[in-house]
Chains A and B, each alone.
Chain A
Amino acid sequence: MSDRLTVVVVEEDRDRAIAIDVALKQTTDCDVFVIDHSSGLARRIAAHAPDIVLIDVDNPTRDMLEELTLASGPLERPVAMFVSNAAGGLAQTAIEAGVSAYVVDGLSPERIKPVMDTAIARFSMVRQMRTELAETRRALEERKVIDRAKGLLMKARGIDEDAAYALLRKTAMDQGRRVADVAESLVTASGLLG
């Protein structure tokens, strides 16, 4: 085994993969390979003979990596899901941050730790950004629907924008629903009625 660690990152999003790659190279002495799609995943990972494999906890292709733990050929190196107690709950922290790591058998905790620290920081940042993005998108979509519902009410009942919004909000409160849900029903119903 050479001194440089070989790290494989399984990540489909190109920008995210580059961010992880850069962060790892800045903080540790390692070669990083990114694999971006699932076809033949286990074989392609094995071809790099990695010391550490990093993958998002929520990635459904993770199950394909489990085959790596069953090294059957003489040249294959068994890889274990990273559960090192010596590293002080690092595995738990990693999973909470959204990264699962597979580490080749016998790699010492001192060598794993810097890579994991970087990966944890990077993955949790990515996870936070992803949640924020999803929330922002949803908020934008909801605002669009609410605007359309307001427009429909203004036309149908001849009221102004504030009154239309107040009506939506009152209906939502009376029915114990969200304003966005009431707006959505109105837009759908109005579409059906033509």
Chain B
Amino acid sequence: MKSTTLPVAYMPLVDAAPLIIAQEMGFAETEGIALDLIAAPSWSSVRDMLAFGRVDAAHMLSPVPVAMKMGLGGVATPISAVSVLSVNGNVIGVGRELEDKLRASGYGFDFADPIRAAEALAQVRTGPLTFGVPFPFSMHVELLRYWSAGTALGTDGIEIRTVPPPLMANALAAGDVDAFCVGEPWGSVSVDIGAGALLLPGKAIWEFAPEKVLAARTDWAETEPDLLGRLMRAVRQAGKWLAKPESRITAGEILSRRDYLDVSPELIDRALSGHLIVSSRGEQRQVDRFVEFYRGAATFPWRSQAKWIACQLGKTHKLDVTDTLEEAGFVFRSDLHRHHLAKSGNDLPGASEKVEGAIRLATPVASAHGKLSLLPDTFFDGRIFDPSDPK
């Protein structure tokens, strides 16, 4: 079989793993494709490369295609999220100054309880807290807003500013930001260079948050169904491989290469194992499924996830989403996902929407082969999001 090369853009992060592994472990080759993985210097650059046709697919923040559909941000090329690449995997952290104040107040850095963490922060702050995030349209922003609105922090108690993760330590030192929410390995990097301490995993706010998606231009996705199918199958196989505990060490070694993340494998292993070091004192915390690439139908792009994102973006940017919600939901292509993956024996959900936040325990659901269980997807405040009756 003649192999076709697909250019794919990504940001060097742990959750780019399914793309990197698809290429390195031969899952792409099995599908008769080769991925030309292009590391981007910024998320805007990933988006532009995809929108202007420099690449055919990209590792992308899940809210970006939804925001583009809603006319937010500068570029409007229609983009489809054909798979979810990763669920969860962010950390919220504080700079040294806040860390010291929190310790003095008796806070124990449990890395688990978002309500207690917000109370502790609210107690020691002197004004609104500024959080650095990697991009204005990101799960990082949505988790921070959802968390602050439902806790002692308050909607007006935080300000959000974009800071590229490699510059976060400088921004903390310069006082531009007090705290941050970033994807791994950047949280662990901040701990290791003594810039701050980790407060919460993103998962503590929403237990099953779609973090990155596999994005393609909608016209390409629809005119190149064969290539898209091969890419999606290769990436899904990579996710399945990543979900095996025995793959962890190999995955860490591959990701750590200079061409990819260029950080030590030990640092990457923290996210993959969920065994994080939360402060420069070496305190360790264990988080189950800190980042998920496969289990619980993690790759499935639920329309209800896109709708949740659209509703949150609508609130922040004062847009009425009542009439546009269905369209925004369609950006997450559960139809294409099922179309391209169902044939190869993958067990996928029968529905395209679910009530987000309603699953408290692993639950078997209707699926093609009847063997699928969904994992808990609750919000920290116990609320639910019903996509047919969004509030």
Q: B73's contact among A38, A60, A66, by CB below 8 Å, is which? A: A66
Contact A63 B74 (CB under 8 A): no
Contact B164 A60 (CB under 8 A): yes
Give the number of residues in B that approach A within 8 Å (Cβ atoms).
29
* Contacting residues, chain A, for B332 (C-beta < 8 A): none
Q: A39-B176, A63-B162 are in contact. Are A79 and B74 (CB under 8 A)?
A: yes
Q: A39-B171, A63-B135, A67-B162 are in contact. Are A57 and B45 (CB under 8 A)?
A: yes
* Contacting residues, chain A, for B73 (C-beta < 8 A): 66, 69-70, 81
* Contacting residues, chain A, for B44 (C-beta < 8 A): 62-63, 65-66, 81, 100
What residue of chain B has the Cβ atom nearest to residue A82's Cβ? B74
What residue of chain A has the Cβ atom nearest to residue B134's Cβ? A63
* Contacting residues, chain B, for A62 (C-beta < 8 A): 41-42, 44-45
What residue of chain B has the Cβ atom nearest to residue A59's Cβ? B41
Give, as a whole number of angstroms, the nearest-CB distance from A73 to chain B. Answer: 13
Q: A39's contact among B52, B54, B174, by CB below 8 Å, is which? A: B174
Contact B41 A60 (CB under 8 A): yes
Give, as a whole number of angstroms, the nearest-CB distance from A106 to chain B. Answer: 14
Q: Could you tell me the distance between the alpha carbons of A187 and B201 in the complex, rounded to whole angstroms?
A: 45
A121 at the interface (CB under 8 A from B): no
Q: A39-B174, A39-B176 are in contact. Are A100 and B167 (CB under 8 A)?
A: no
A152 at the interface (CB under 8 A from B): no
A 106-122 contacts with B by CB, 8 A? none
B 133-182 contacts with A by CB, 8 A? 134-137, 161-164, 166-167, 170-171, 174, 176
B243 at the interface (CB under 8 A from A): no
Q: Could you tell me the distance between the alpha carbons of A69 and B136 in the complex, rounded to whole angstroms?
A: 10
Contact B162 A60 (CB under 8 A): no
Q: Give the contact-size bracket for chain A.
A: 20 to 34
Q: Could you tell me the distance between the alpha carbons of A39 and B167 in the complex, rounded to whole angstroms?
A: 9
B43 at the interface (CB under 8 A from A): yes
Contact A66 B167 (CB under 8 A): no
Contact B72 A81 (CB under 8 A): no
B353 at the interface (CB under 8 A from A): no
Q: B164's contact among A63, A80, A82, A95, by CB below 8 Å, is which? A: A63
Give, as a whole number of angstroms, the nearest-CB distance from A6 to chain B. Answer: 19
Contact A58 B41 (CB under 8 A): yes
Q: Could you tell me the distance between the alpha carbons of A88 and B74 in the complex, rounded to whole angstroms?
A: 18
What residue of chain A has the Cβ atom nearest to residue B163's Cβ? A64
A20 at the interface (CB under 8 A from B): no
Q: B74's contact among A38, A66, A95, by CB below 8 Å, is which? A: A66
Contact A70 B136 (CB under 8 A): yes
Contact B166 A60 (CB under 8 A): yes
Q: A81's contact among B42, B75, B162, B163, by CB below 8 Å, is which? A: B75
Q: Could you tell me the distance between the alpha carbons of A59 and B43 in the complex, rounded to whole angstroms?
A: 11
Give, as a whole number of angstroms, the nearest-CB distance from A157 to chain B. Answer: 33
Q: Helix, strand, loop or mixed for chain A's interface?
A: mixed
Number of A-B pairs, beta carbon distance below 8 Å: 80
A191 at the interface (CB under 8 A from B): no
B48 at the interface (CB under 8 A from A): yes
Q: Could you tell me the distance between the alpha carbons of A61 and B76 in the complex, rounded to whole angstroms?
A: 21
What residue of chain B has the Cβ atom nearest to residue A81's Cβ? B74
B258 at the interface (CB under 8 A from A): no
Contact B48 A81 (CB under 8 A): yes
B317 at the interface (CB under 8 A from A): yes
Q: A70-B136, A81-B74 are in contact. Are A95 and B48 (CB under 8 A)?
A: yes
* Contacting residues, chain B, for A57 (C-beta < 8 A): 41, 45, 48
* Contacting residues, chain B, for A61 (C-beta < 8 A): 42, 164, 167
Contact A92 B52 (CB under 8 A): yes
* Contacting residues, chain B, for A58 (C-beta < 8 A): 41, 45
A83 at the interface (CB under 8 A from B): yes
What residue of chain A has the Cβ atom nearest to residue B48's Cβ? A95
Contact A63 B75 (CB under 8 A): no
Q: Could you tell me the distance between the alpha carbons of A42 and B52 in the complex, rounded to whole angstroms?
A: 24
* Contacting residues, chain A, for B134 (C-beta < 8 A): 63
Contact A60 B42 (CB under 8 A): yes
A 87-112 contacts with B by CB, 8 A? 91-92, 95, 100, 102
Q: Could you tell me the distance between the alpha carbons of A40 and B161 in the complex, rounded to whole angstroms?
A: 9
B 13-69 contacts with A by CB, 8 A? 41-45, 48, 51-52, 54
Q: A64-B163, A67-B136, A81-B44 are in contact. Are A40 and B74 (CB under 8 A)?
A: no
B 97-151 contacts with A by CB, 8 A? 134-137
Give, as a whole number of angstroms, the nearest-CB distance from B64 to chain A. Answer: 10
11 cross-chain CB contacts under 8 A: A38-B164, A40-B176, A57-B41, A60-B167, A61-B42, A62-B41, A62-B44, A81-B48, A81-B73, A95-B52, A95-B54
What 5 pairs across the A-B complex have the smallest Cβ distances? A81-B74, A80-B74, A60-B164, A62-B42, A69-B74
Q: Footprint of A on B, CB under 8 Å? A: 41-45, 48, 51-52, 54, 72-76, 134-137, 161-164, 166-167, 170-171, 174, 176, 317
12 extra A-B contacts, CB within 8 A, seeds A40-B176, A66-B162, A83-B51: A42-B162, A57-B45, A62-B44, A63-B43, A66-B44, A66-B136, A67-B136, A67-B161, A70-B73, A81-B44, A83-B75, A95-B52
